[in-house]
């Protein structure tokens, strides 16, 4: 087979020079690590923005300590945050966390690093394209960050960028749109590469039903990125035309903004943007969660020492979920003036799409039954993922039913709903992935004690942040309020929770310090481990740590399903996929 | 369940129905979470390595998880078909005849709510965007005969209790959202289109104020700014009988000090204008303060208010 | 290191990598233009009045352009067929013609734009023109992209023919698939914008 | 198609010429129908019908869709489904209750 040629090349890779090896590498593992570091830094940055916002929510109108002076006169005169700046921070927190943090970490980093190894491929199908998608992502990130320096600051119309507000917003919005073009391009290149790799480069014997679930999750995710992003690209084109060429795709006739009649031809519709945006953004939320579920599934199988319960329902549910995610988008728009026909359609599809999620979660929980559970650090994060995603998912139900969405729409209930999924959900799963695959990438293990401090501290703090949001939301407190609702009578009873949440958020930051130390110190000083420290079955553990250029020294062949642990009659409690025994 | 969820007072006819639906779906959520949670915790404890050194290859044999999934699906189907779809249809379509209702045109703008009443003739006057000015935010053409008796207010909606209200909602600039938490009403105001919605208040503002009043601890150190939206719900006097805090008055540092002197540690406060319109769609830097008050009065109170407004118009 | 299936077909899937890749890309392009088409329908059904394309736009020019683009598609596929038949010289002639036709298409498009601007018709004039300029502009960018690829295959890229003819033929096929798609988009744009 | 023989290619070429002629003919047809200035409904149906035929010809022959194995048609079937989901979007305008 062709893999045999990789042996010769595998040994010759040292000669590539610094630039080709580290910066402009075409090796999927290096690119994966580049993605990992960049996106972790973006996560930290997005979190920092939020910590600054949480000061304003806890102590409205009081000067921000320490960093307040450095935020600039235009943003925070005398250290007191302006509403404009609050809106910038909010919009950029959402954008950065989603498009520059969680997706690149889940797909770009873990997908890139792990997926080719798991299917026994020497690299991605298009290594040059892979390198390009990283650098295009990087350019998108720089554009987004740089937009803070523009006059008027960064985009300030929410991550959803609803027109007409965004059409007439400051130039930061143009930068946002350009940044989105980069990120969309990067995702498109990446997803094409992923799908081709999974379909074409599977090792002999690796049939679709033998793929580790993580690979399935990446496959479905890639399809979502491939087909859902273009409509947003179309919408971004139209918004850019509105902003630069003076068209009015999203501007209706007869607008009067601050007393001035807007000089535009009119005839557009603000709702058009919302449809195109949510056509992307609902599938996008599954892009945020599927890689996380993939990681969790792998770790649960490994640490319960038994196969996943009903692998097939897991796979079929995921496919069905991906499919349905394209026809539920307007559940974000119930109160825009939707009639009964559409209302019925989208409520029904939303309820239907919750069923595969229930199945996925059921499979993962039931997989615990009968296991011999090792509470390693990755496993603890993976276990915590389950109820946290459960809370986030369940609170999606009242939002999905239009009548109950009325009081809840655009309140902190919605914020609580999705943060439970993306923060203690996705981010925990991603932490689990970092602890789990760190030995593969470095040959060393992260410290367990620090890991456990990180875990318990984060679990407690993160729940203290997001649980009160449901209480505030049910009381009717709107989101995106600069003063956290201080002037509203109906918010008074739950106002004091703002301080609780803020303190918890800052404490959460403190509990990330053990992680950051652990991460960097372990790269050099971590305990050295063998090729397969977790006694795992999937192919990434069948090569050295870190794997050589070309991944596998000898061609691999696959003989069985992905999670054959504790097979009755076997010599050890795990049977690697490539073990002919 | 409603109390447990901390839902605010139900001050309109729909509020009760929506809350019913809300309670039902939260019951499902709690039951599911508790059921799976118990299973989850039990599994983690029972199957930890020290307790169960060898895993069982086959895992759970029973098919009960599928039964649970099917039960959830059925529950959701029933909730949809029997409750939520009919309720939604009612909310959207059940708009009474304009003759039997108080009709108000509501126009959102950065960052205020304009209310426009047709006046006694029941006909809205002509509006024209070229007439828009700071004094005339709606661009109402006062030369139009139908406009002569039209009443306009900013950030103050006055409506009678127990009579349907029909709102014709639109916006001048951005997308705003006309949300009244106590009525469980929320509807986006989209520029370029106008949408009709209807609700019936069932409590007057005074009743709501009474319902949400609570005792608050007050002493010398209290930051009275925190109480800026509150007024006293009853009178407080010192031993000599001097009024320290009259009903309907707010708390100032001075008053707080006097109350402390008189040994009064707790006062019953309610919000000054409890029912409010909260803009719930990001509409710019002033989004957070785009607040209007809703004053629900009795039918006679409403007639008087209209009369006062008309009198003011004549001058 | 060698990536498998860059030039030979994987037996169980029936494609080589780049072919699957380009089809996936085209699938995403379908969604891109689909988004714009549905925006068009959305705005048109919501509009009070909407001009007929033929009242504003120049049908003879656009018809000529349709013929130009269809012809370029034929020459593109002939270029590939020539390579598959092993005739490199003929391939160069056909691909050269394809590029030339692409230039012609853009020139005519440019003339059309120029005439509109002269009459004071800009994207900002009304929604019809806005969508017209956006859709044809984006399509024009796609044409330019395809031409860059074709010029590369005609010039520096064609060195691969001597080293790895199979892979080069694949590349031309892939470039062709993209070019036909651009043609296909125009086949829909033409009636939708000009004739309705 | 990558393993085509020269003979094979010659029959292809013939097919390409026929398709080319058909495309030209259909272009002429659609333009002349447009000259009739039919009602919008009729015009839309006829124009899109002709465009679909032309598109299918390009896809089936120039893009060799007819001779592709299962994988690509399946991919396209999905895409077409999602494309139609996207076209569901304008119906929102029709079913909204604003006015
Ligand atoms: C990864 C992200 C993610 C995921 C997976 C989901 C999943 C779901 N979401 Fe969420 N959603 C968002 C991210 C996500 N959402 C975001 C970001 C927003 C706001 C955007 C904005 O406006 O800015 C949003 C907003 C949002 C709205 C709009 C609210 C509004 O603005 O008014 C709606 C409405 O229908 C909704 C519904 C749902 C539903 C029904 C699901 C379902 O798929 C959930 C199905 C899951 C379950 C039903 C869980 C099953 C649970 C169990 C089986 C119990 C397990 C128990 C234990 C383990 C103990 N979401
Ligand atoms: C993936 C998405 C994501 C994630 C993960 C988060 C994470 C968090 N979010 Fe965010 N949030 C959004 C997406 C997300 N958010 C969106 C879309 C909005 C709406 C915006 C809008 O209105 O338009 C929003 C809005 C939003 C609000 C509402 C603001 C408002 O309406 O005015 C709040 C309020 O508290 C908040 C808080 C938080 C907090 C405390 C976290 C915490 O959980 C953060 C936790 C972060 C970490 C734990 C960082 C971990 C990283 C490291 C430790 C790095 C290590 C580095 C190396 C090793 C190199 N978010
Ligand atoms: Cu108006 Cu927010
Ligand atoms: Cu959604």
Residue C84 and residue D93: Cβ atoms within 8 Å?
A: no
pLDDT of residue A84: 93
Q: Which residues of B touch D93 (CB under 8 A)?
A: none
Residue D85 and residue A339: Cβ atoms within 8 Å?
A: no
- Which residue's CA is the nearest one to ligand 1's atom 32? A409
Alpha carbon of B156: minimum distance to chain A alpha carbons (Å): 15
Bridge-partner residues for A338, per DSSP? Answer: D96
Mean pLDDT value of segment A147-156: 92
Length reported for chain A: 581
Report the share of chain B in percent with pLDDT over 70: 100
**B84 Cα to the center of ligand 4, angstroms:** 18
Regarding the domain with residue range A27-251+274-542, which homologous superfamily does it belong to in the CATH classification? Cytochrome c oxidase-like, subunit I domain (1.20.210.10)
More confident residue, A334 or B227: A334
What atom in ligand 2 is closest to the CA of residue A434?
Answer: 58
Going D5 to D8 to D13 to D15, the CA torsion angle's sign is: negative
More confident residue, B225 or B144: B144
Whether A361 is in the pocket of ligand 1, judged by its Cβ within 6 Å, is yes
Alpha carbon of C125: minimum distance to chain D alpha carbons (Å): 23
C-alpha–C-alpha distance, residues B91 and B78, integer Å: 19
Whether A390 is in the pocket of ligand 1, judged by its Cβ within 6 Å, is yes
Whether B32 is in the pocket of ligand 1, judged by its Cβ within 6 Å, is yes
Mean pLDDT value of segment A85-110: 96
Confidence of residue B230 (pLDDT cuts 50, 70, 90): confident
**What are the strands of the beta sheet with B266-271, ordered from one edge?**
B214-217, B266-271, B230-232
Confidence of residue A10 (pLDDT cuts 50, 70, 90): very low
**A46 Cα to the center of ligand 2, angstroms:** 6
Residue B194 and residue D99: Cβ atoms within 8 Å?
A: yes
Q: How many CB pairs under 8 A join A and C?
A: 142
pLDDT tens sequence for chain C (196 residues) = 688 999 899 998 999 999 999 999 999 999 999 999 999 999 998 888 888 888 889 999 999 999 999 999 999 999 999 998 899 999 999 999 999 999 999 999 999 999 999 999 999 889 999 999 999 999 999 999 999 999 999 999 999 999 999 999 999 999 999 999 999 999 999 999 998 8
What atom in ligand 3 is closest to the CA of residue B108?
Answer: 1
C-alpha–C-alpha distance, residues A573 and A564, integer Å: 8
**Can you list the alpha helix ranges (DSSP code H) found in A201-269?**
213-244
C-alpha–C-alpha distance, residues A19 and B186, integer Å: 57
pLDDT of residue D68: 84
Q: How is chain B split into domains, by residue range?
A: 2-93, 103-204+275-314
pLDDT of residue D99: 41
Reported ipTM: the value is 0.94
Residue B262 pLDDT > 90? no
CA dihedral A60, A66, A71, A76 (to 10 degrees): 30
Residue C85 and residue D16: Cβ atoms within 8 Å?
A: no
Mean pLDDT value of segment A516-538: 94
**What are the strands of the beta sheet with B185-189, ordered from one edge?**
B156-160, B291-297, B276-279, B176-180, B185-189
Q: Which DSSP letter does residue B134 get?
A: T
Task: Please name the residues in contact with C178: beta carbons below 8 A apart, sequence gap of 6 or more.
Answer: C22, C25, C26, C146, C149
Mean pLDDT of chain B: 90
Confidence of residue D4 (pLDDT cuts 50, 70, 90): very low
Tell me the pLDDT tens digit for each residue of B295-312: 999 999 999 999 999 999
Classify burial at B131, counting beta carbons within 10 Å of its beta carbon; exposed 0-12, middle 13-18, buried 19 or more: middle
Q: Max Cα separation, chain D?
A: 64
* Ligand approaching nearest to the C-alpha of A44: 2
pLDDT of residue A15: 55
Neighbours of A309 (CB within 10 A): 25
CA dihedral A69, A72, A75, A77 (to 10 degrees): 50
Q: Which residue has the tokens 């019953």?
A: B268
C-alpha–C-alpha distance, residues A10 and A554, integer Å: 11
Most ligand 1 atoms within 8 A of CB, residue of A321, A325, A399 to mutate: A399
**B90 Cα to the center of ligand 3, angstroms:** 26
Beta-sheet strands, E only, within B25-164: 102-109, 112-117, 151-154, 156-160
pLDDT of residue D6: 47
Of C114-118, D75-79, D87-91, least confident by mean pLDDT is D87-91
Q: Does any CB of chain B come closer than 8 Å to the CB of residue D97?
A: yes
Judged by DSSP in three states, A322 sits in helix
Residue B47 and residue A371: Cβ atoms within 8 Å?
A: yes
pLDDT of residue B23: 94
Domains of chain C: 74-196 (1.20.120.80)
Mean pLDDT value of segment A345-362: 94
Q: Which residues of B touch A269 (CB under 8 A)?
A: 192
Question: Which member of B21, B187, B286 has the closest CB to residue A401?
Answer: B21
Mean pLDDT value of segment A570-576: 89
**Can you list the alpha helix ranges (DSSP code H) found in A401-537?**
402-408, 412-421, 428-442, 448-474, 497-525
What atom in ligand 3 is closest to the CA of residue B288?
Answer: 2
Residue A245 and residue C3: Cβ atoms within 8 Å?
A: no
Identify whether the C-beta of residue A512 lies closer than 8 Å to the C-beta of residue A451: no
Mean pLDDT value of segment A151-172: 93
Q: Which residues of B touch A356 (CB under 8 A)?
A: none
CA B167-B171-B174 angle, to 5 degrees, is: 140
Alpha carbon of A235: minimum distance to chain D alpha carbons (Å): 13
Residue A152 pLDDT > 70? yes
pLDDT of residue A11: 40
* Ligand approaching nearest to the C-alpha of B283: 3
Nearest Cα neighbor of D55 from C168, C37, C96 is: C37
Confidence of residue D8 (pLDDT cuts 50, 70, 90): low
Nearest Cα neighbor of B33 from A468, A362, A370 is: A362
Nearest Cα neighbor of B40 from A453, A363, A461 is: A363
Neighbours of A554 (CB within 10 A): 12
C-alpha–C-alpha distance, residues A334 and A406, integer Å: 8
pLDDT of residue C1: 67
Q: Does any CB of chain D come closer than 8 Å to the CB of residue C122?
A: no
Tell me the pLDDT tens digit for each residue of A240-294: 999 999 999 999 988 988 888 888 888 899 999 999 999 999 999 999 999 999 9
Tokens of D98: 């604003």
- Which residue's CA is the nearest one to ligand 1's atom 42? A354
Confidence of residue A393 (pLDDT cuts 50, 70, 90): very high
Q: Which DSSP letter does residue D39 get?
A: -
Residue B211 pLDDT > 70? yes
Phi, psi of D35 (to 5 degrees): -65, -20
Whether A415 is in the pocket of ligand 2, judged by its Cβ within 6 Å, is yes
> Within a 13 Å sphere around the CA of A409, how many CA atoms are in the beta-carbon half?
29
Substitution target in A275, A325, A335 with the highest count of D β-carbons within 10 Å is: A275
C-alpha–C-alpha distance, residues A478 and A495, integer Å: 12
C-alpha–C-alpha distance, residues A6 and A551, integer Å: 8
Question: How far is residue B102 CA from its own chain's centroid?
Answer: 19
pLDDT of residue A9: 41
C-alpha–C-alpha distance, residues D14 and A542, integer Å: 53
Ligand 3 pocket at CB < 6 A: B 108, 111, 176, 279, 281-283, 287, 290
Confidence of residue B253 (pLDDT cuts 50, 70, 90): confident
Tokens of B205: 């503002």
Mean pLDDT value of segment D40-62: 90
Q: Does any CB of chain D come closer than 8 Å to the CB of residue C130?
A: no
pLDDT of residue A12: 41
C-alpha–C-alpha distance, residues B86 and A403, integer Å: 10
Of A148-162, B37-51, C38-52, least confident by mean pLDDT is C38-52
Substitution target in A267, A553, A556 with the highest count of C β-carbons within 10 Å is: A267
B103-204+275-314 sits in which CATH class?
mainly beta
pLDDT of residue D92: 76
- Which residue's CA is the nearest one to ligand 2's atom 36? A50
* Ligand approaching nearest to the C-alpha of A47: 2
Confidence of residue D1 (pLDDT cuts 50, 70, 90): very low
Identify whether the C-beta of residue A164 lies closer than 8 Å to the C-beta of residue A199: no
Confidence of residue D98 (pLDDT cuts 50, 70, 90): low
Q: Which residues of A touch B33 (CB under 8 A)?
A: 387, 390-391, 394
Residues 229-258 in A contacting C (C-alpha not used; CB under 8 Å): 229-235, 237-238, 241, 245-249
CA dihedral A314, A315, A319, A321 (to 10 degrees): 10
Residue B189 pLDDT > 70? yes
pLDDT of residue A382: 97
Tokens of A22: 């580290």
Whether A417 is in the pocket of ligand 2, judged by its Cβ within 6 Å, is no
Q: List subunits contacting chain A, requiring 3 or more Cβ pairs under 8 Å.
A: B, C, D
**B176 Cα to the center of ligand 3, angstroms:** 4
CA dihedral C56, C57, C60, C63 (to 10 degrees): -140
Whether A510 is in the pocket of ligand 2, judged by its Cβ within 6 Å, is no
Q: Which residues of A touch D89 (CB under 8 A)?
A: 275-276, 279
Tell me the pLDDT tens digit for each residue of B107-122: 999 999 999 999 888 8
C-alpha–C-alpha distance, residues B189 and A5, integer Å: 65
Substitution target in A401, A485, A496 with the highest count of B β-carbons within 10 Å is: A401
Tell me the pLDDT tens digit for each residue of A354-380: 999 999 999 999 999 999 999 999 999
Bridge-partner residues for B279, per DSSP? Answer: B178
- Which residue's CA is the nearest one to ligand 3's atom 1? B176
Residue B47 and residue A344: Cβ atoms within 8 Å?
A: no
Question: Which pairs with CB-CB distance under 8 Å and at least 24 residues apart come from D88-94?
Answer: D88/A327, D89/A275, D89/A276, D89/A279, D89/C38, D89/C42, D90/C38, D90/C41, D90/C42, D90/C45, D91/A342, D92/A271, D92/A275, D92/A330, D92/A338, D92/A342, D92/C42, D93/A269, D93/A271, D93/C42, D93/C45, D93/C46, D94/C45
Mean pLDDT value of segment A404-413: 96
Of A281-285, A304-308, D90-94, least confident by mean pLDDT is D90-94
Residue A457 pLDDT > 90? yes
What atom in ligand 3 is closest to the CA of residue B189?
Answer: 1
CA dihedral A72, A74, A80, A83 (to 10 degrees): -140
Mean pLDDT of chain A: 92
């Amino acid at each position: 087979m062709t893999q045999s040629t990789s042996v010769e090349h595998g040994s010759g890779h040292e000669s590539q020079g610094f630039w080709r090896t580290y910066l402009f590498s075409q090796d999927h593992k290096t690119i994966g690590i580049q993605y990992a570091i960049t996106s972790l830094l973006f996560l930290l940055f997005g979190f920092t923005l939020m910590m600054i916002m949480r000061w304003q929510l806890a102590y409205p109108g009081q000067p921000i300590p320490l960093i307040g002076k450095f935020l600039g006169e235009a943003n925070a005169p005398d250290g007191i945050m302006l509403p404009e700046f609050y809106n910038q921070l909010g919009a950029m927190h959402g954008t950065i966390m989603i498009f520059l943090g969680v997706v690149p970490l889940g797909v770009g980093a873990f997908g890139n690093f792990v997926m080719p190894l798991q299917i026994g491929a020497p690299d991605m199908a298009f290594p040059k394209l892979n390198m390009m998608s990283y650098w295009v992502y990087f350019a998108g990130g720089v554009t987004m960050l740089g937009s803070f320096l523009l006059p008027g600051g960064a985009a300030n119309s929410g991550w959803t960028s609803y027109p007409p507000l965004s059409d007439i917003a400051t130039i930061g919005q143009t930068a946002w749109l350009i940044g989105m073009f980069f990120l969309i391009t990067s995702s498109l290149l990446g997803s094409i590469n992923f799908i081709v790799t999974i379909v074409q480069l599977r090792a002999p014997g690796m049939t679709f039903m033998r793929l580790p679930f993580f690979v399935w999750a990446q496959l479905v995710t890639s399809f979502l990125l491939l087909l859902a992003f273009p409509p947003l690209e179309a919408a971004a084109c139209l918004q850019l035309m509105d902003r630069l060429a003076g068209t009015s795709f999203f501007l209706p006739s007869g607008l009067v903004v601050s007393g001035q009649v807007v000089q535009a031809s009119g005839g557009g519709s603000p709702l058009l943007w919302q449809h195109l945006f949510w056509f992307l953004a609902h599938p996008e939320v599954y892009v945020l969660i599927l890689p996380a579920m993939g990681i969790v599934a792998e770790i649960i199988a490994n640490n319960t020492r038994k196969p996943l319960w009903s692998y097939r329902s897991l796979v079929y549910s995921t496919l069905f979920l991906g499919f349905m995610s394209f026809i539920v988008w307007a559940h974000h728009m119930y109160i825009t003036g939707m009639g009964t026909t559409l209302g019925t359609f989208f409520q029904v599809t939303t309820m239907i799409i919750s069923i595969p999620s229930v199945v996925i979660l059921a499979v993962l929980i039931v997989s615990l039954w009968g296991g011999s559970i090792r509470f390693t650090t990755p496993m603890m994060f993976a276990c915590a993922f389950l109820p946290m995603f459960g809370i986030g998912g369940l609170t999606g139900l009242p939002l999905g039913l239009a009548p109950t969405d009325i009081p809840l729409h655009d309140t902190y209930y919605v914020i609580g709903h999705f943060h439970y999924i993306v923060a203690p959900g996705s981010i925990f799963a991603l932490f689990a992935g970092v602890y789990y695959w760190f030995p593969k990438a470095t040959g060393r293990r992260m410290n367990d004690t620090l890991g456990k401090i990180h875990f318990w501290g984060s679990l407690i703090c993160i729940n203290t942040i997001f649980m009160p949001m449901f209480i505030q939301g049910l009381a009717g407190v709107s989101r995106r309020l600069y003063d956290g609702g201080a002037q509203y009578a109906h918010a008074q009873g739950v106002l004091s929770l703002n301080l609780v949440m803020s303190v918890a958020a800052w404490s959460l930051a403190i509990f990330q310090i053990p992680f950051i130390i652990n991460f960097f110190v372990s790269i050099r000083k971590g305990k050295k481990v063998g090729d397969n420290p977790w006694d795992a079955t999937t192919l990434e553990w069948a090569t050295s740590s870190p794997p050589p250029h070309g991944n596998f020294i000898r061609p691999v062949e696959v003989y069985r399903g992905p999670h054959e642990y504790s097979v009755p009659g076997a010599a050890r409690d795990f049977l690697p996929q490539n073990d002919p025994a | 369940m409603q109390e447990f969820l901390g839902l605010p007072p139900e001050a309109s006819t729909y509020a009760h129905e929506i809350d019913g639906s809300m309670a039902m779906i939260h019951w499902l959520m709690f039951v599911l979470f508790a059921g799976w949670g118990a299973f989850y915790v039990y599994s983690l404890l029972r199957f930890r390595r020290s307790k169960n050194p060898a895993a069982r290859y086959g895992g759970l044999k029973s098919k009960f998880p599928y039964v649970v999934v099917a039960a959830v699906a059925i529950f959701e189907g029933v909730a949809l078909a029997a409750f939520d779809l009919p309720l939604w249809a009612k909310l959207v379509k059940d708009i009474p005849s304009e003759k039997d209702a108080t009709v108000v045109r509501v126009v959102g703008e950065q960052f205020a709510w304009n209310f426009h009443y047709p006046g006694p003739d029941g006909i809205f006057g002509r509006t024209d965007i070229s007439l828009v000015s700071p004094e005339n935010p709606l661009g109402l053409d006062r030369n139009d005969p139908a406009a002569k008796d039209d009443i306009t207010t900013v950030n103050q909606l006055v409506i009678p209790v127990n009579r349907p209200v029909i709102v014709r909602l639109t916006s001048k600039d951005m997308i705003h959202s006309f949300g009244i938490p106590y009525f469980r009403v929320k509807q986006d105001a989209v520029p370029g289109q106008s949408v009709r919605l209807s609700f019936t208040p069932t409590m007057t503002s005074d009743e709501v104020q009474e319902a949400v009043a609570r005792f608050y601890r007050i002493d010398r150190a209290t930051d009275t700014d925190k109480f800026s939206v509150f007024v006293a719900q009853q009178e407080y006097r010192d031993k000599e009988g001097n009024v320290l805090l009259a009903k309907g008055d707010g708390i100032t540092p001075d008053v707080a000090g006097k109350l402390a002197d008189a040994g009064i540690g707790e006062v019953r406060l309610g919000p000054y204008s409890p029912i409010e319109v909260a803009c719930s769609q990001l509409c710019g830097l002033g989004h957070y303060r785009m607040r209007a008050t809703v004053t629900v009065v009795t039918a006679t109170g409403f007639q008087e208010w209209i009369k006062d407004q008309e009198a003011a118009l004549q001058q | 290191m060698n990536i498998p299936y860059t030039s030979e077909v994987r037996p169980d899937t029936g494609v080589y990598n780049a072919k699957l890749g380009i089809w996936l890309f085209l699938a995403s392009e379908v969604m891109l233009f689909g988004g714009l088409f549905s925006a068009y329908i959305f705005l048109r059904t919501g509009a009070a009045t909407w001009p007929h394309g033929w009242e504003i736009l120049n049908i003879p020019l656009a018809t000529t352009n349709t013929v130009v683009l269809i012809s370029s598609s034929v020459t593109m596929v002939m270029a590939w067929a020539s390579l598959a038949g092993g005739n490199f010289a003929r391939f160069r002639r056909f691909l050269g013609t394809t590029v030339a036709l692409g230039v012609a298409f853009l020139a005519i498009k440019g003339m059309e734009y120029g005439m509109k601007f002269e009459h004071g018709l800009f994207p900002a004039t009304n929604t019809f023109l806005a969508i017209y300029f956006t859709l044809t502009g984006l399509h024009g960018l796609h044409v330019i992209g395809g031409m860059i690829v074709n010029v590369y295959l005609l010039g520096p890229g064609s060195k691969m023919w001597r080293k790895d003819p199979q892979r080069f033929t694949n590349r031309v096929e892939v470039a062709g698939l993209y070019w036909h798609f651009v043609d296909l988009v125009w086949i829909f744009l033409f009636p939708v914008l000009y004739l309705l | 198609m990558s393993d085509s023989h020269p003979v094979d290619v010659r029959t292809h070429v013939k097919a390409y010429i026929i398709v080319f002629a058909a495309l030209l003919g259909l272009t002429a047809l659609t333009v002349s129908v447009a000259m009739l200035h039919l009602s919008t409904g009729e015009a839309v149906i006829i124009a899109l019908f002709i465009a679909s035929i032309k598109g299918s010809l390009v896809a089936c022959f120039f893009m060799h869709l007819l001779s592709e194995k299962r994988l690509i048609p399946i991919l396209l079937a999905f895409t077409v489904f999602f494309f139609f989901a996207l076209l569901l979007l304008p119906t929102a305008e029709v079913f909204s209750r604003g006015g």
